Structure formats: structure tokens, C-alpha cells
């Protein structure tokens, strides 16, 4: 075994004192969070607690009002990014994969075209290689036979698995999931969760905003509980779910008991 | 009226003359449509620009064009532009410029609604994957927007064919102008303008019907 280099010990991605306001509405309040290599961090909390906004800040879809986003020691997002930060952001962009609640597949492209688009355009991967990788990924999410179908022909669960394959095609260092099963019927959630569980088992670093308590408990390596724009409690899933320390977390978890 | 003797042979005897006008009408409409589509895209992009002064230019231009009569605009292009710039503009050029600008102001709205109908999430997915804003617009937004804007664009084409008759006022030899000339020399306006109206109708009507069917099929998808 070789000892990990210092760079590997740095968190893959961190929020450092991140706040975000929309007008007068403060959605995030000085949130700090580290996601380390092979972490599967599950962010839970009531709706409107700022979970999705935090994720969108990490994905650089929102610019924080205060604080910064850091990827392996490099600042990639600040309230007023200078040229260095913007350049760093462009460089690491493909290393952050994101899966949306509503899949956001491009409807005018087939499944395969959805998956190869970014490798072709952003990474300049030769077409044959991009297709080979895409086929392997589609096989992995169980949709090899759908490669030439258009998204509208797929079920929600299938669309979300394609979206996961599309994100994986850029070989990201971290995958961000924004309530990936919330838009799905219960019977379709399982197939998406299975793919996510497999990814976690393979050692993918993941940050998952979710209402799936079972997933957080059994697959998560750490649970972060948010409420009103702040991280209220965080810890190992076993301890958090069996004995939450804060009253707010206790009250939140009670809803899931029956 | 009731004692009127129709002389349809006035039309048949000058059929080639009138059809050369129709050729001009169609040529004008096609050239103008292409120019209006390009100019309309520029206007739509200006309307949606992040930089406010660009937006003002786009919006202001569109408002002025949409809220003044096309005939006044044509006369303005034909008679005023030459005075302002000290150049001679051919009637044909003036008509193409005037019609393109006018139609572009409407087409830009068509584009804008098409572009805005593409869900924001599609662009966000592209952004997260590292596509540049230009790549995302060209590969993700535009192809979807175009699909939605094709039927309204085709309707614009029908409008253009009809508007091109205004060329008669600035003596462009399209079919209406040909009709005016023929009517002046034969004193047979009833036959001539009736024939011309029928010609316009049988070009525009099938196009409009086709577009309606096409739209229905797109909606069904």
C-alpha cells in the first residue's frame, strides 16, 4: 500500500462558510461542509431548508452571496470571482457530476447522444471512444438496449439512470444528486437507488440530497441534517438515526416513523 | 354591373406578363424570409442579452417597427434613406430591406418564445457538464427552439407573400404592380384584380392549411 499523497487527503469538494440570499430571503446561512474521497454524504431535512441550494452552489449553478466553494484546495466559486477563480472553475467543471430531480435529459437527442455529447464537445474524446464508454455506462445502468431511444419513450426511472450515465461519462471526481428519486413513482425509485448503491460500493464520492431515509441510513457514510439554511446536526448514519442529538432532528425523523 | 361584359381574355392574353410578376412576388418573399429569419435571430438575442444597453437597442427597435405601419416604413426606406445617406436605393432593394426589417421584428418574438420554452434545466444540465454557453445554445437550446418555431415561421412566410404586394406602391414589378399597369392600359380592373386575388389565395391558402396540419401533428407528438 502506498500512502495517499497530500492532495488526496484534501476534501474533494467543500463549502466554506457559504451563504446564499435571493432578495431578502436568506436560504443558506454560513454553511461549511467537506466531502472527502469515497464519502457518501446524505443531506436531509425539511423542504425549504436550503439543501438543494447548497448543492447548486457546489455545482456552480448558483453563485454564493458569501463564502466560497473549494475543490481539492482550489477555490472555484466566490461571490465575485476573479479571472483565476473563473479559470479554475472552468477547469474543474467536468469533474463535478450532477443528477437533477427532473433528469433534464435533452429530448431531441437519443439516449446515446445524450451521453456522448459532453465527452465529444468538452473533452474532445474521439467519437468511437466516446461511444464505447457510453455503451459500457448504459450497460452498467441496465439500459444498453435503449441506446437509440429518445428520452420521451423511457420511464422516469430509466431517464434518471440515463442521466446518471451521462454524468458518469465525464469521469467526475464527485457526483452530486439533487433529490434524484423525488419525481419518481415508488416502484421506479428502487432501480435508481440500486444504481446509486452500486456507485457507492465502487467508491464514488457522492453528495446526495434526499428524502430516502433508507438510503441515507444504509448507504450513506455520513448524514447531514439541515434546517432553515443551516447544518443543524451531522454524523454517522447509525448514530444519527438511532439517537439524534438535536430536537429539530428528532422532530424531523418522527415523520418517517410510521 | 349587371350589364357588364366580362373580358377574361384580357387576363389570358397577358398571362405571361402577369406571371412574370408572380415570379417576382415569390422571389421577393423567399429572399425576404431568409433575411428576416437571420435578422430576427439577431433581434431575439439582443432582446435576451444580459448587457442592458444591448437589450434596450433590441427592444426599442422591435417596438418602433411593430408599432408603425409597414407602408410608412417602406416609403421611409425608399424616399428617406437615400436623403439621409445620400445614396440611391433601387425599389427592389428598398422593398426587401423594408419587408425584412418589419418581418424580423415579429419573427424575433417567435424565436424568443421558442427559446424561452426550452426548460432552464436543459441548459443547466449542459452547463454542469462543461458545455460553454455558446455550445449549449447551439446544440441544446436552438434545435429545440427551431422545432417549436417552424409553424409560426411558415405563417410568417404567408404574410410576407401578401405584404410583398405593397411593392406596387414603390413600383416593384411584382404581380400587383403588373396588374395595376395592365389595368391602366386595358381598363379591365375587375377581371385583372379578381384574377390576382385568386392567384394570391391559391398560393396562400394551401400553405396556411398545410401549416395548420403540421402544427396539429407537432402538438400530438
A76, A86, A90, A121: best to mutate for the B interface, most B CBs within 10 A: A121
Indicate the average pLDDT of chain B.
90
Percent of chain A residues past pLDDT 90, beyond the cut: 92
Q: What is the pLDDT of residues A207-221, one digit of tens each?
A: 999 999 999 999 999
Domain extent, residue B145, equals 26-172
- B55 occurs within a structural domain: yes
Task: Kindly state the average pLDDT of the residues B99-110.
Answer: 93
Has residue B10 been placed in a domain?
no
Q: Is residue B5 part of a domain?
A: no
Contact between B162 and B102 (Cβ < 8 Å): no
> Is residue B64 included in any domain, yes or no?
yes
CB-count burial class (<10 Å; 0-12, 13-18, 19+) for A32: exposed
Q: Is residue B201 part of a domain?
A: no
DSSP B16-55: HHHHHHHHHHHHHHHHHHHHHHHHHHHHHHHHT-SSHHHH
Residue B180 belongs to a domain? no
The string of pLDDT tens digits covering residues B29-56 is 999 999 999 999 899 989 888 899 999 9
Q: Domain containing B165 — which CATH number?
A: 1.10.3720.10
Report CB contact under 8 Å: A106, B147.
no
Q: Strand A25-35 to strand A40-44: parallel, antiparallel, or no bridges (unpaired)?
A: unpaired
Asked if ipTM goes beyond 0.85, one says yes
Question: What is the percentage of chain B residues whose pLDDT exceeds 90?
Answer: 63
Within 8 A by CB and 6+ apart from B67, the residues are: none
Angle, helix B142-163 to helix B189-220, in steps of 10 degrees: 170
Q: Is the pLDDT of residue A6 over 60?
A: no
Q: Looking at CA atoms only, how far is residue A220 from chain B in angstroms?
A: 24
Backbone torsion region of residue A171, taken as left when φ is above 0, otherwise alpha when ψ lies between -120 and 50, otherwise beta: left
Q: Is residue B9 part of a domain?
A: no
Nearest residue, CB atoms, B130 vs list A108, A122, A163: A122
What is the SS3 assignment for A19? Answer: strand
pLDDT one-digit tens code per residue, A118-161? 999 999 999 999 999 999 999 999 999 999 999 999 999 999 99
Ramachandran area for residue A250 (φ above 0: left; ψ -120 to 50: alpha; else beta): alpha
Count how many domains chain B has.
1
Question: Among A60, A100, A121, whose Cβ lies nearest the Cβ of B121?
Answer: A100
Q: Is residue B101 part of a domain?
A: yes
- Any A CB within 8 A of B142 CB: no
CB contact under 8 A, A118 and B127: no
Nearest residue of B to residue A105, measured between CA atoms? B122
The A-side interface with B (CB below 8 A) comprises: 59-61, 90, 93-94, 96-98, 100, 102, 104-108, 117-118, 121-122, 163, 166-167, 170
Q: Name the residue with cell 474524446.
A: A125
Q: Looking at the complex, does the CB of residue B216 fall below 8 Å from at least one CB of chain A?
A: no
Find the mean pLDDT for residues B82-93.
89
Amino acid at each position: 500500500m502506498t500512502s495517499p499523497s497530500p492532495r488526496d487527503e484534501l476534501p474533494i469538494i467543500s463549502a466554506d462558510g457559504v451563504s446564499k440570499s435571493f432578495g431578502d430571503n436568506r436560504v443558506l446561512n454560513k454553511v461549511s461542509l467537506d466531502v472527502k474521497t469515497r464519502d457518501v454524504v446524505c443531506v436531509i431535512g425539511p423542504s425549504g431548508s436550503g439543501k438543494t441550494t447548497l448543492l447548486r452552489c457546489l455545482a456552480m449553478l448558483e453563485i454564493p452571496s458569501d463564502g466560497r466553494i473549494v475543490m481539492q484546495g482550489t477555490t472555484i466559486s466566490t461571490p465575485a470571482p476573479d479571472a483565476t477563480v473563473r479559470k479554475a472553475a472552468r477547469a474543474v467543471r467536468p469533474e463535478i457530476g450532477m443528477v437533477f430531480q427532473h433528469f433534464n435529459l435533452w429530448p431531441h437527442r437519443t439516449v446515446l447522444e445524450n451521453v456522448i455529447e459532453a465527452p465529444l464537445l468538452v473533452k474532445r474524446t474521439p467519437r468511437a471512444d466516446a461511444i464505447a464508454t457510453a455503451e459500457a455506462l448504459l450497460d452498467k445502468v441496465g439500459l444498453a438496449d435503449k441506446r437509440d431511444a429518445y428520452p420521451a419513450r423511457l420511464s422516469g426511472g430509466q431517464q434518471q439512470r440515463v442521466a446518471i450515465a451521462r454524468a458518469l461519462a465525464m469521469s467526475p471526481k464527485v457526483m452530486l444528486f439533487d433529490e434524484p428519486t423525488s419525481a419518481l413513482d415508488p416502484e421506479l425509485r428502487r432501480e435508481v437507488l440500486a444504481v446509486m448503491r452500486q456507485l457507492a460500493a465502487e467508491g464514488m464520492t457522492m453528495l446526495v440530497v434526499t428524502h430516502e431515509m433508507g438510503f441515507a441510513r444504509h448507504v450513506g457514510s455520513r448524514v447531514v441534517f439541515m434546517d432553515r439554511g443551516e447544518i443543524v446536526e451531522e454524523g454517522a448514519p447509525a448514530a444519527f438515526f438511532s439517537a439524534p442529538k438535536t430536537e429539530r432532528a428528532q422532530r424531523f425523523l418522527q415523520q418517517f416513523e410510521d | 354591373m349587371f350589364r357588364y361584359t366580362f373580358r377574361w381574355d384580357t387576363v389570358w392574353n397577358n398571362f405571361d406578363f402577369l406571371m412574370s410578376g408572380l415570379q417576382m412576388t415569390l422571389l421577393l418573399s423567399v429572399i425576404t424570409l431568409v433575411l428576416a429569419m437571420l435578422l430576427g435571430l439577431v433581434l431575439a438575442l439582443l432582446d435576451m442579452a444580459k448587457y442592458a444597453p444591448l437589450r434596450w437597442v433590441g427592444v426599442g427597435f422591435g417596438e418602433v417597427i411593430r408599432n408603425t405601419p409597414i407602408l410608412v416604413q417602406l416609403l421611409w426606406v425608399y424616399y428617406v434613406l437615400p436623403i439621409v445617406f445620400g445614396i440611391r436605393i433601387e425599389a427592389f432593394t428598398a422593398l426587401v430591406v423594408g419587408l425584412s426589417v418589419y418581418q424580423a421584428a415579429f419573427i424575433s418574438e417567435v424565436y424568443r418564445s421558442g427559446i424561452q420554452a426550452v426548460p432552464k434545466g436543459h441548459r443547466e444540465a449542459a452547463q454542469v457538464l462543461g458545455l460553454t454557453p455558446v455550445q449549449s445554445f447551439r446544440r441544446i437550446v436552438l434545435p429545440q427552439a427551431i422545432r417549436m418555431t417552424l409553424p409560426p415561421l411558415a405563417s410568417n412566410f404567408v404574410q410576407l407573400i401578401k405584404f410583398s404586394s405593397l411593392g406596387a406602391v414603390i413600383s416593384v414589378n411584382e404581380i400587383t404592380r403588373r396588374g395595376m399597369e395592365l389595368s391602366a392600359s386595358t381598363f379591365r380592373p375587375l377581371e385583372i384584380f379578381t384574377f390576382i386575388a385568386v392567384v394570391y389565395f391559391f398560393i396562400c391558402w394551401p400553405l396556411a392549411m398545410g401549416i395548420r396540419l403540421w402544427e396539429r401533428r407537432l402538438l400530438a407528438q
